[in-house]
Amino acid sequence: MAEVELFRTWSSPFALRIVWALKLKGIEYETIFEDLSNKSSLLLEYNPVYKKVPVLVHNGKPISESLVILEYIEATWKQTPLLPEDPYERATARFWAKFGDDKLLPSIWHAFMTQGKEQEEAIPPAIENLNLIEKELKGKEFFSGETIGLVDIAFGCIANLVSVLEVVTGLKLIDAEKFPLLFKWMQNFSDVPVIKENWPPHDKLVTKFQAIHKTYLATGAPK
């Protein structure tokens, strides 16, 4: 058993956060790819509550939930800090990361995974949330300042998946005119070598999310 193991799938945006953080800090780890339609007994044993990826196992001890795992990584390996030193700035970073999971990402997902009147109603809250983070980027290259940090990693799937979902659904949510700072951030983030090298192939993601989109349109997207 390796000292650090990561249970994930190739496409999970939550698991990618952990890949990016480990690679940014230069931590060696072993990847265990899960088939979510046939979860391994180890995944169920390590994450009996949510039964989801990612799970990080360090010296045999499992940690679940990607934001919690990021905090663990930051507390365990000090190199390439992902959180600021200042307690207020740390709290602010955690606030935005939580906002990402509680509001921003679900609202974007909902806008993409609906149609008709439901989609018309889903778009304004997503735009409103995107406007909030656009403001946060004023005068900054990254949400964390001059270099990539925890908030950038938490929002990373915006840079990664939005272009995929725009192709899949035909809905254009983020453009350079409406969200100039966010648009530039997407570029800055994608250009960081660790991110670029660990980006799943665009076409493979399009195929995967086409199938998910089709299912949601047939069954209704979760709110």
Binding site for ligand GSH (CB under 6 A): 12, 14, 36, 51-54, 65-67
Q: With helix as H, strand as E and coil as C, how does the chain read?
A: CCCEEEEECCCCHHHHHHHHHHHHCCCCCEEEECCCCCCCHHHHHHCCCCCCCCEEEECCEEEECHHHHHHHHHHHCCCCCCCCCCHHHHHHHHHHHHHHHHHHHHHHHHHHCCCHHHHHHHHHHHHHHHHHHHHHCCCCCECCECCCCHHHHHHHHHHHHHHHHHHHHCCCCCCCCCCHHHHHHHHHHHHCHHHHHCCCCHHHHHHHHHHHHHHHHHHCCCC
Taking the least distance from each CB to ligand GSH, the nearer of 35 and 146 is: 35
CB of 12 to ligand GSH, least distance (A): 4
Nearer to ligand GSH, 35 or 85 (CB): 35
Cβ-based nearer residue to ligand GSH, 127 or 151: 151
Q: Which CB, 64 or 144, lies closer to ligand GSH? A: 64
Residue nearest to ligand GSH (CB): 52
Report in angstroms how near the CB of residue 52 gets to ligand GSH at its nearest: 3
**Of 127 and 133, CB closest to ligand GSH:** 133
Minimum separation from the CB atom of position 194 to ligand GSH (A): 20
In the complex, the smallest distance separating the C-beta of residue 43 from ligand GSH, rounded to whole angstroms, is: 9
Minimum CB–partner distance for residue 10 and ligand GSH (Å): 11
